Every structure is written in structure tokens, then in C-alpha cells.
Amino acid sequence: MSKPIVAIVGRPNVGKSTFFNYLAGKRISIVEDTPGVTRDRIYTEVEWRNRKFTLIDTGGIEPYSEDKIMKQMKNQAEIAIETADVIIFMVDMKDGLTASDREVATMLRKSKKPIILAVNKVDKVGELPAEVYEFYNLGMDNLMPISSIHGLGVGDLLDEVFKYFPDEAEEEYDEEVIKVAVVGKPNAGKSSLINKILGEERVIVSDIPGTTRDAIDTYVENEEGKFVFIDTAGIRRKSKITENIERYSAIRSWTAIERADVCLIMIDAVEGVTEQDTKIAGYAHEQGKASIVVVNKWDLVEKTTGTLEEYRKTVLEKLGFMLYAPVVFISAKTGQRVDKIYNLVKYVANQAALRITTGVLNDLLNEAIAMVQPPSDKGRRLKIYYMTQASVKPPTFVLFVNNMELMHYSYERYLENQLRKSFGFEGTPIRFLIREKE
Ligand code: GDP
Ligand code: GDP
């Protein structure tokens, strides 16, 4: 299962950021490297009792202006309903129950998502102050008094949240099943593609037991193999939401990527590769996932001779870190080339799982070294003694060298190219680990 997503919703000043920061401060890790998203401080990864989850502060998008509070809150609630597995609805004991609390509560209750009502600013331990009981009027069973400033009750609250997480063990599929994440910006055509490729199949839709959100993995078995399309329910359901959703929808993409064997990175051919696309592709690359760049809406592009090759070049220029990825041009609408996708997915999944024996690798290494000398610095030359493949998905190679500092990025790239020339590894990133050996 992907990391569960927990969203905090509540009026301004109830203490959402304080709560968020309290947990972020306790974090084991913040995903600092994900471009763009973390800088907004809208989400953080939290680890609690050995489970990781993603915490979203839906209030963190933009500053509030008084007259717009209700609209903003509705917006927040919609985002939470759309993206989260569990929602923490935060209210402020010091303010008491307000009209907008009631309104938001009604919205949230309708969503059927698990909701925990956190009554914040209950700063004293001991008997519950009478003011807390008022909040039972919201009709929510899970009422948890907390003090975000002092961290009181936060553990109990998280334990309650955890009750709604799916069991970790339940999600695994057989080794041979290829997990596919279809990711990209809203409107790139993800749902259209999925509907198209599932269209002719006898689809078995499996609702994974214990899942709290309405995420559905779609399992498909055909002559090409066994596939699971991750999170397609969330993708297929059309969201009618604002621009803000785009930033949150990226979070969904991250978690789908983390679970996937192969990522289909969907680009809208009319718009070309956007910054958001680069971020999504970058994440797939960092996570070591195999990827296919799918340029969709090809039917809308005016074509002359060479258009496709020109376009392919532009795409790969923008996604320079992903030159290994096949680029396909499809129309989810007309179905053009859509039937090729299963085969390609299977192909890159196999490429990512290739294992090369140490003997063969070292023949290649010796040849490569003979052709281009390893770098040297101040009279010392890099020696690479041997190379072995440590793991697959992504293929990872350990290089044993005399001195790690002498290894250059450019030489690594050279070796990577040699490996690709000989063995392909199409669609998958390759990693090197450098070890010193006397
Ligand atoms: P947000 O707008 O919901 O993100 O609220 P903030 O986290 O910015 O908090 C608003 C104010 O409430 C700040 O002055 C906080 O210091 C204060 N606050 C937050 N949590 C608590 C709490 O548990 N107890 C008390 N007494 N004050 C709190
Ligand atoms: P999603 O948000 O990524 O799931 O995108 P959708 O699948 O909902 O598609 C967004 C819009 O683009 C819809 O109006 C689709 O009909 C349209 N669309 C999707 N794929 C194609 C395509 O290949 N060609 C054309 N012309 N329109 C497409």
C-alpha cells in the first residue's frame, strides 16, 4: 500500500500549523528533495510507531482574508476529501463551537471518509474541561482533546488515526504482477488512457480489504501478462476542483510512483513538457522506477514529416535526466497506439529486472577501460578493480576502486552508456555504488 495520506482541516488559528510543525519536528525524514512541493510546506512525511504516512496541511496554501474564510475552508475540505485516507478536523476549544465548524463538519461527514475530531488547545492534563463536550454536537464519534503546543494527546490522536490505515501486509501482489502508475498533470488524459486500455479487457476490479479510502487497484490479466494499475479510482473519478488541487494531486502521484514498477508519465502533447511534468518525472527517476514517457493527444498535433522525431527531441531535452525512457505518442481518445502500451510496459519492467553476471560485466569493464582511460588527478589515476551487480529495479552496480575521490560523474556516465549499449536497460535508471578496496 502506498503511504497513507492524512489531511488536517480547520479554521484559521485553531492550531493546524502548530500541530503540523510539532509532528514535522519529530519527523524521521522530510522529503526535502521533491522539487517544489515541500517548499510550500504543505506536506511532510511522519513516522509514528514504525509506520510512515504523509501529513497534509490543507490550510497551508495561501494566506486567508477574512471575507473569504468560508470559501477557503470549503476548498480545504474538498482537497482533504479528494486526497486523504483519514481526515483530522481541528477545532479550537478556546473559541468554542462556531458556525463555520458546523458547516465544514457537515461537508466532511458526507464524504464518508474517516474523520477524527481534534479539539485543540486543551493545554492541561487531567480531567477534561467542560468546554470540550460542546463539540460532540458535531456528531463525530472520534473526539480527541489535544494541545499542539505541548504535544499533549497527540500520541493518542495518532493511534486513533492509525486505526484507519490499511494493514501493510495486505497489499502485496505476486512477483510477476507489474504495478503501473499512470501519472501526470490533471487533464493530461490519464483517465482517458486507463479507460481505453481497460476498455476491451475483462477487468477484475479489486477493492483491497482494509483500505480506508476508495482507492482501487485495477487488476488486469491478458496475453501480455498480469498488471495492476495503481490508484486508478482516484484518477478516474473526475474532480471538479480548483487550480489548487493540482499541487495536491502531485502528492497522489508521488505515492503511486513509490509503489509502482513502471511509471507512465503522461504529457499533454498540446502543452508540451511543463514544470509539473518535470517534477513528476524527476520523482520517478529519483525513486529508481522504470518509466515510459507517454505523449498524449497526438491527434491534436498538426503533423508534417519529422514532427514526431522533432517532438521526441524536445521532450528528451526537457527530461534530460531520463534519456533512457522510451517516448510514445498516443491518442487516448482515438486509441492510436494505445494497444502497444502493455507490451512496452512489460518490456521496460523486464529491463529493470535484468541481471548481468559478474564475469560478463568485467569483460565489459575491461574493454571500456581500454577504450577510455579512467580519470586521474594530481598524478593519481583511478583504478577500477571490478564491478558486480548488487541489485535490480533499478539495476545497481558496485564498482570497487582504489580511491573514491578519483571517480568522476562523467566517467560514471561513460560506464552507464557502455552498459546500455551492451545490455539495453531501456526505460530504467541505472545506479552505481563506489567502494574502495585496497
Ligand atoms: P492555524 O492557522 O490553524 O495553522 O493555527 P496556528 O498553528 O498558526 O496557531 C494559531 C495560534 O494558536 C498560535 O498563536 C498558536 O501559538 C496557538 N496555538 C496552537 N496550538 C495551541 C495549543 O495547543 N494551545 C494553545 N494555548 N495555543 C495554541
Ligand atoms: P486526466 O485528468 O489526466 O485524467 O485527464 P482526462 O482523461 O480526464 O482528459 C482530460 C481531457 O482531455 C478530456 O476532455 C479528454 O476527453 C481529453 N483527452 C484525453 N485524451 C485525449 C486525446 O488523446 N486526444 C484528445 N483530443 N483529447 C483527449
Which 3-state string (H, E, C) describes 134-185?
HHHHHCCCCEEECECCCCECHHHHHHHHHCCCCCHHHHCCCCCCEEEEEEEC
234: Cβ below 6 Å to ligand 2? no
Which of 100, 149, 157 to probe ligand 1 with, by most ligand atoms within 8 A of CB?
A: 149
Rounded to whole angstroms, the Cα distance separating 110 from 244 reads 22
Q: At a CB cut-off of 8 Å and minimum separation 6, what does 362 contact?
A: 386, 387
| pLDDT computed for residue 245 by the predictor | 56
* Backbone torsions φ then ψ of 293, nearest 5 degrees: -90, 120
Rounded to whole angstroms, the Cα distance separating 123 from 142 reads 19
Omega before residue 35 within 30° of 0, cis? no
Q: Do the Cβ atoms of 380 and 414 come closer than 8 Å?
A: no
332: Cβ below 6 Å to ligand 2? yes
Q: Considering every ligand atom, which ligand is closest to the CA of 12?
A: 1
Q: Considering every ligand atom, which ligand is closest to the CA of 94?
A: 1
* Backbone torsions φ then ψ of 278, nearest 5 degrees: -60, -40
Rounded to whole angstroms, the Cα distance separating 235 from 239 reads 9
User: Regarding beta strands 290-296 and 262-268, do their DSSP bridges make them parallel or antiparallel, or are they unpaired?
Assistant: parallel
User: Regarding beta strands 217-222 and 143-145, do their DSSP bridges make them parallel or antiparallel, or are they unpaired?
Assistant: unpaired
Q: C-alpha 347: how far from its chain's center? A: 23
Ligand 2 midpoint to CA 259 (Å)? 25
Determine the atom of ligand 2 nearest the C-alpha atom of 238: 8
Ligand 1 midpoint to CA 63 (Å)? 15
Identify the residue whose C-alpha is closest to ligand 1 atom 14. 13
| pLDDT computed for residue 212 by the predictor | 32
User: Regarding beta strands 376-377 and 225-229, do their DSSP bridges make them parallel or antiparallel, or are they unpaired?
Assistant: unpaired
Ligand 1 midpoint to CA 52 (Å)? 25
113: Cβ below 6 Å to ligand 2? no
| CA-to-CA dists, residue 210 to 1, 167, 179, 217, 219, angstroms | 10, 7, 19, 13, 17
Short-list 56, 50, 45, CA closest to 90: 56
Rounded to whole angstroms, the Cα distance separating 66 from 87 reads 24
Ligand 2 midpoint to CA 342 (Å)? 20
Q: Find the length of the chain.
A: 438
Q: Looking at residue 374, what DSSP letter applies? A: P
Ligand 1 midpoint to CA 107 (Å)? 24
Q: Considering every ligand atom, which ligand is closest to the CA of 64?
A: 1
Alpha-helix residue ranges (DSSP H) falling in 239-357: 244-259, 275-286, 307-318, 341-352
Q: At a CB cut-off of 8 Å and minimum separation 6, what does 147 contact?
A: 120, 121, 122, 123, 153
8: Cβ below 6 Å to ligand 2? no
Q: Considering every ligand atom, which ligand is closest to the CA of 192?
A: 2
Determine the atom of ligand 2 nearest the C-alpha atom of 296: 23
236: Cβ below 6 Å to ligand 2? no
Rounded to whole angstroms, the Cα distance separating 438 from 429 reads 29
Determine the atom of ligand 2 nearest the C-alpha atom of 186: 2
Rounded to whole angstroms, the Cα distance separating 72 from 52 reads 28
196: Cβ below 6 Å to ligand 2? no
Short-list 201, 171, 148, CA closest to 24: 148
Q: C-alpha 335: how far from its chain's center? A: 27
Ligand 1 midpoint to CA 90 (Å)? 11
HSE value, Cβ hemisphere, 13 Å, CA-based, for 281: 29
10: Cβ below 6 Å to ligand 1? yes
Ligand 2 midpoint to CA 35 (Å)? 26
| pLDDT computed for residue 233 by the predictor | 46
Q: Which residues of 306-339 are buried (b: 16+ CB within 10 A; e: fewer)?
A: eeeeebbeebbebbeebebbbbbbbbbbebeebe
Q: Over the chain (438 residues), what is each successive 10-residue block's mean pLDDT?
A: 81 86 59 38 75 77 57 76 88 93 89 93 90 92 93 93 76 82 88 79 43 56 87 48 56 82 96 91 93 97 92 95 96 92 96 95 96 92 93 95 92 96 97 88
Which of 8, 16, 18 to probe ligand 1 with, by most ligand atoms within 8 A of CB?
A: 18
Which amino acid makes up residue 383?
Answer: K
Ligand 2 midpoint to CA 1 (Å)? 27
Ligand 1 midpoint to CA 100 (Å)? 18
Location of C-alpha cell 575491461? 366
Q: Which residues of 175-199 are buried (b: 16+ CB within 10 A; e: fewer)?
A: eebbbbbbbbbbebbbbbbbebbbe
Rounded to whole angstroms, the Cα distance separating 424 from 200 reads 32
Rounded to whole angstroms, the Cα distance separating 435 from 312 reads 37
148: Cβ below 6 Å to ligand 1? yes
Percent helix, strand and coil across the chain, each rounded to 5? 40, 25, 35
Q: Do the Cβ atoms of 121 and 92 come closer than 8 Å?
A: yes
Rounded to whole angstroms, the Cα distance separating 259 from 287 reads 10
Which of 82, 182, 187, 246 to probe ligand 2 with, by most ligand atoms within 8 A of CB?
A: 187
13: Cβ below 6 Å to ligand 1? yes
Cell of 132: 470540550
Short-list 309, 287, 334, 225, CA closest to 429: 287
| pLDDT computed for residue 59 by the predictor | 64
- pTM across the whole model: 0.69
Determine the atom of ligand 1 nearest the C-alpha atom of 146: 23
